[in-house]
Amino acid sequence: MASSWILTALLFLFVVVSPLLALSKRDPERERQERQCKSECERSREREREVRQCKQECEERYRRQKGQGRNIEERERESESESEGRRRGVTGNPYAFERDRFVRDISTEHGSFRTLPPFTERSELFRGIENNRICIMELKPNAFVLPHHKDADIIYYVANGDARLVTIGEERQDSHNLKKGDTATIPAGKTTYIINKDSQRELKIVALLQTISTPGQYEIFFGATGQNPPSYLRAFSDEILEASFNVDRSRLSRLLEQKGQGPIVRPSSEQLQGLIHGGSGGGKWPFGESEESERPFNLFSRRPRISNDHGELYELDETEYSPLREFDIAISFANISRGSLEVPFYNSRATEIYVILEGRARIEMACPHVSGGREQEGSRRGQGEQEGSRRGQREQEGSRREQEQEERGKGQGQEIKYHKIRSDLNPEDLFVAPPSHPIAIRASQEENLQIICFEINARRNRKYFLAGKNSILNQIERAAKEVSFNVPSREAEEVLRAQSDSVFVVGPRQQREGREGEGRAVA
Ligand SMILES: [Cu+2]
């Protein structure tokens, strides 16, 4: 009799308890499925909200599968700890965003608006820039974006192409020509339309949007359209529209019931002439002339702030282009020669959002916030692929050194730690550098690196370089150097003055080869 009880108990353990134990473990296969499910959302959904909803459904489905047989309490506890992790942003590398994180807001065969989800969805560390969103607009040759407005202030940077942008005001319309390097601002609520004037090349605009209503959220409003995209006028009842426009319903319907070809279209060649050259119908005379303050400003019309054999840096701030004042933003463009390095620096007040335009970048940043692994690997691609085992060895040594430094960093009370954030970035990938965080940017050996940077909280911001001729570390008084480095001041100064270039310098591999005289060709 007793043995049958034991058997039953064993059977119970086997049938009920062991699957529960198994379920509480992480399941890489299911995690992979969830990731796949989510990326499918990005492919198949167009509106950002739909994508987000779709992704939530993936998460729920996954959680349901994983949670089968467990009680609600357990599941809640799990999701709490997940959100706690998200809240503090303490694991992984929250600063790099790969290009496939962009979600298609609008997409037709003639072009697309892709937007990066709000930064705070990634981590609470981005609370300070929660009103900022990055959008990439791409238009096929001669494509036209129908008139619309957004509930966000917008700054355009034209990465490529040739366009005509029209903004509609109460009294006038303004027409702006946009070309590579142009920066333009569009205030929230301003109705605009845009045409790619070029019949061969694509137009690409990287835009920063500052939301003004719900932090991090914005919407697009089409008015002068029919059903596709739907006009906001269609939301009104017929009697309101009839009375407002003083025409009868059937004539209104002819406008508002038209099928339409979507928010981005390719006009016929006759229509194109009117759109490209403007001046026919609509606005009051004179049109085509924009107020000086609203004109786009070309980043390359001024001399670069820094220029040497290894790179150049162009900057545009509110003192040169007054519309930026409203935004408290500056824009910079760095062109780093292949194999070269922008030495470590930090911004005093600004958070910088870097978007890679061309080439490949390796960014390293010191961050006291993030933990979970000594080295935070940022990106999936090319991580150390071309680097030999020697490099791996060097890095291990580097890690040991860091570890030691971290150990030594332990003060009396609080522990001071700076983690290495490292990301390999490709075109359209993005990196966010918070203020005070020292960062270095290195171009790959193969090609020049072009980066556009939106500087948020630009007013009173200073960029402090930590190596090279203009290094602030050199400014520290001799006695202070001696005490703080704890070596004779001469020794400290020899190290700090060894680099005779400033800002852009010879990158690591070239330098190493030069020094070791290997003369080996680089891949
Ligand atoms: Cu940090």
Give the C-alpha separation, 153 to 188, whole Å.
4
Average pLDDT, integer, range 232-251: 90
Residue 338 is predicted with a pLDDT of: 94
Contact between 328 and 396 under an 8 Å Cβ cutoff? The reply is no
Distance 425 CA to ligand 1 centre (A): 19
Distance 51 CA to ligand 1 centre (A): 29
Residue 415 is predicted with a pLDDT of: 79
Give the C-alpha separation, 106 to 445, whole Å.
36
Domains, in order of start, for the chain? 28-77 (no CATH), 96-225+260-293 (2.60.120.10), 302-379+417-461 (2.60.120.10)
Average pLDDT, integer, range 116-132: 94
Distance 207 CA to ligand 1 centre (A): 25
300-304, 351-355, 384-388, 499-503 — which is least confidently predicted? 384-388
Q: What's the angle, vertex CA 408, arms to CA 404 and CA 414, rounded to 5?
A: 130
Residue 255 is predicted with a pLDDT of: 87
Distance 371 CA to ligand 1 centre (A): 10
Cα 229 to the center of its chain, rounded Å? 27
Indicate the burial class of 477 (C-beta count within 10 angstroms; 0-12, 13-18, 19 or more): exposed
476-515, pLDDT tens digit by residue? 999 999 999 999 989 999 999 999 999 999 999 655 554 4
Distance 36 CA to ligand 1 centre (A): 29
> Residue 272: is its pLDDT beyond 50?
yes
Distance 363 CA to ligand 1 centre (A): 14
Residue 31 is predicted with a pLDDT of: 72
> Residue 518: is its pLDDT beyond 80?
no
128-146, pLDDT tens digit by residue? 999 999 999 999 999 999 9
> Residue 99: is its pLDDT beyond 80?
yes
> Residue 37: is its pLDDT beyond 90?
no
Alpha-carbon dihedral of residues 394, 504, 205, 133, nearest 10 degrees?
Answer: 60
Residue 279 is predicted with a pLDDT of: 64
Task: Tell me the residue type at 186.
Answer: I
Top pLDDT among 516 and 137 is at 137
Top pLDDT among 392 and 149 is at 149
Distance 210 CA to ligand 1 centre (A): 23
Give which of 99, 97, 109, 98 is closest to 46, Cα–Cα. Answer: 109
Indicate the burial class of 76 (C-beta count within 10 angstroms; 0-12, 13-18, 19 or more): exposed
Give the C-alpha separation, 301 to 231, whole Å.
39
Give the C-alpha separation, 262 to 35, whole Å.
30
Residue 357 is predicted with a pLDDT of: 97
Distance 451 CA to ligand 1 centre (A): 21
Distance 56 CA to ligand 1 centre (A): 28
3-state SS, one letter per residue, for 99-131 = HHHCEEEEEECCEEEEECCCHHHHCHHHHHHCC
Average pLDDT, integer, range 13-28: 49
DSSP string for 179-243 = ETTEEEEE-TT-EEEEEE--SSS-EEEEEEEEESSSTT---EEE-S--BTTBPGGGGS-HHHHHH
Question: Which band of pLDDT confidence, cut at 50, 70 and 90, is reported for residue 277?
Answer: confident
Give which of 91, 116, 121 is closest to 377, Cα–Cα. Answer: 91
State the chain's mean pLDDT as an integer: 79
Question: Which band of pLDDT confidence, cut at 50, 70 and 90, is reported for residue 49?
Answer: low
Distance set, CA 393 to CA 384, 388, 429, 445, 457 (Å): 12, 9, 28, 20, 40
Residue 276 is predicted with a pLDDT of: 87
Distance 434 CA to ligand 1 centre (A): 7
78-87, 187-196, 224-233 — which is least confidently predicted? 78-87
Distance 493 CA to ligand 1 centre (A): 29
54-84, pLDDT tens digit by residue? 677 667 665 555 544 334 444 333 333 334 3
Residue 455 is predicted with a pLDDT of: 97
Distance 375 CA to ligand 1 centre (A): 14
Residue 521 is predicted with a pLDDT of: 33
Distance 368 CA to ligand 1 centre (A): 5
Distance 95 CA to ligand 1 centre (A): 9
Give which of 81, 85, 205, 91 is closest to 139, Cα–Cα. Answer: 205
Distance 419 CA to ligand 1 centre (A): 8
Distance 443 CA to ligand 1 centre (A): 23
Distance 126 CA to ligand 1 centre (A): 10
Distance 202 CA to ligand 1 centre (A): 37
27-31, 133-137, 156-160, 327-331 — which is least confidently predicted? 27-31
Give the C-alpha separation, 203 to 283, whole Å.
26
Distance 357 CA to ligand 1 centre (A): 24
135-194, pLDDT tens digit by residue? 999 999 999 999 999 999 999 999 999 999 999 988 788 899 999 999 999 999 999 999
Tell me which residues have their CB within 5 A of the ion that is ligand 1: 367, 369
Distance set, CA 457 to CA 54, 124, 240, 380, 500 (Å): 34, 18, 44, 31, 31
Distance 438 CA to ligand 1 centre (A): 10
3-state SS, one letter per residue, for 300-337 = HHCCCCEEECCEEEEEECCCCCCHHHHHCEEEEEEEEC
